[in-house]
Amino acid sequence: MNSTLTARLALGLGLLAILAATGCREEEQGRVLIQQKGVYQGTPDQTLSEDQIQELRFRARQQQI
């Protein structure tokens, strides 16, 4: 009886350890956990090319009433 309880406990702890190890998704690794007020900590935005800026201006003019 005691060995059965020990085996079940070991199995349960092993399964819990496996679930804990696989519970974190890869995209969540290395993300900022402590935020600094007023400081953007994400990746910097790409600069737009002159053609992209002109296209956005054209699209904005098309939407004006």
Q: Which residues contact 42 (CB under 8 A, 6 or more apart)?
A: 32
Q: Band the pLDDT of 1: cuts 50, 70, 90.
A: low
Q: Which residues contact 56 (CB under 8 A, 6 or more apart)?
A: 48
Query: How do residues 40-61 score in pLDDT, each as one tens digit?
Result: 888 888 999 999 999 999 999 9
Specify the pTM. Answer: 0.38
Residues 60 and 54: their CA atoms lie apart, in Å, by 10
- The fraction of the chain above a pLDDT of 70, given in percent, is 97
